[in-house]
Amino acid sequence: MSHRVGRLALTGALAAGCCCLASCQMFSWMVAAMAPPKPVPAVYEPPQDKTILVFVDDIRNPVSYEPLKAQLSRRLSDLLVEHEVARQTVAYEKLRDLALSTPDFNQWHIPTVGEKLQADLVLYVEIDRFTLREGAQGPLWQGRLETRVKIVDSRKGRIWPEDRPNGFPVKPATTEPEANFSEDYGAVLASKLANEMAERIAKLFYAHTAPRYGFPDEQE
């Protein structure tokens, strides 16, 4: 009988401990949910009141879905103006038309491109990796977009980052694995990646807030 009482007591203690743990976890979650967002400073503040050209380039890692570059360029340009990083931006169509009408465009230096399009600064975004799924076939999609960025003055050359000639690596944009048998789903996924990456890049250049706990979206 004493052994049975002991087991019951131990079971009760364990149950009480589990309830306490669950309560503590719930309390921690409530504290996190109610905590005010934390301020996140800009990684770099470009010179103010400038015209900026967003130049998304895949020269070393050509993308499989060309509209990605236009979507990323347009969304990022909008965010730069919205958050007053740029006074105005150069339309993506002007960059596209210049590239199509210039046979040796890929040999031009970045400042030359900016000067031709009358931009004070060029936000150069180089695509390092773009994938929508691991294999060419199959229903499982999982997107990933990796980029590096730098700010180039059309007259002086690169002004940021000073210590990284190849650019500042941006936290990758990713999507969760998802099954979809439609080949058109790739375009939907590419748009999601472009929008997420535009947000990540833009936030490098202006102060903002992020959740104090959980899964913050700010650049690490």
pLDDT in tens, 67-113: 999 999 999 999 999 999 999 999 999 999 999 999 999 999 999 99
Chain centre to alpha carbon of residue 187:
18
Task: Examine residue 161 and say whether the peptide bond preceding it is cis (omega within 30 degrees of 0).
Answer: yes
Residue where the block lists tokens 């229903």: 139
Q: Which of 34-38, 64-68, 92-96, 146-150 has the lowest mean pLDDT?
A: 34-38
Domain parsing of the chain, residue ranges: 2-34, 40-210
Return the pLDDT at 28. 55
Which is the CATH superfamily of the domain at 40-210? Answer: ABC-type transport auxiliary lipoprotein component (3.40.50.10610)
CA distances from 132 to 70, 78, 189, 194, 208 (A): 17, 25, 7, 12, 30
104-109 own/partner pairs: CB under 8 Å, 24+ apart: 106/59
Q: Helix, strand, coil: what percent of the chain each, to 5?
A: 40, 20, 35
Residue where the block lists tokens 């130049």: 55
